[in-house]
Amino acid sequence: MPRERQNDVVAAVRLTVVPDEMQAEVLCGRLRASGIECGYRKTDSAAAISAAGGGFAIAGPTEVLVDERDLERAKRLLARG
């Protein structure tokens, strides 16, 4: 069951970097299935390349982000493969 976070400020931290958005979505699916909120975004270099190409590329390094309070639990899940 998710912790109450109504008045909490969420501090997103980087869990890992994966090669593209597809892999980020798969990893976030695993994390969410374990009750860990997750998001992702292009790294700065990938975002610049994507913007130069019209902004539609899904390829390129993508950061997977979690709430800092969930970081250690997410790392353990990631290590289990």
DSSP-assigned beta bridge partners for residue 66? 13, 38
What is the average pLDDT score of the chain? 83
Q: Which CATH architecture has domain 13-80?
A: 2-Layer Sandwich (3.30)
User: What backbone torsions phi and psi does residue 16 show, to the nearest 5 degrees?
Assistant: -165, 175
The yes-or-no verdict on residue 50 having pLDDT over 90 is no
Label residue 1 by pLDDT band (50, 70, 90). Answer: very low
Q: Mean pLDDT, to the nearest integer, of 24-43?
A: 95
At 14 the three-state DSSP class reads: strand
pLDDT, position 81 = 75
Q: How far is 71 from 68, CA to CA, in rounded Å?
A: 5
Residue 20, judged by CB atoms within 10 A of its CB (0-12, 13-18, 19+), counts as middle
Model confidence, pTM = 0.74
The yes-or-no verdict on residue 46 having pLDDT over 60 is no
Q: How far is 61 from 20, CA to CA, in rounded Å?
A: 5
Q: How far is 79 from 81, CA to CA, in rounded Å?
A: 5
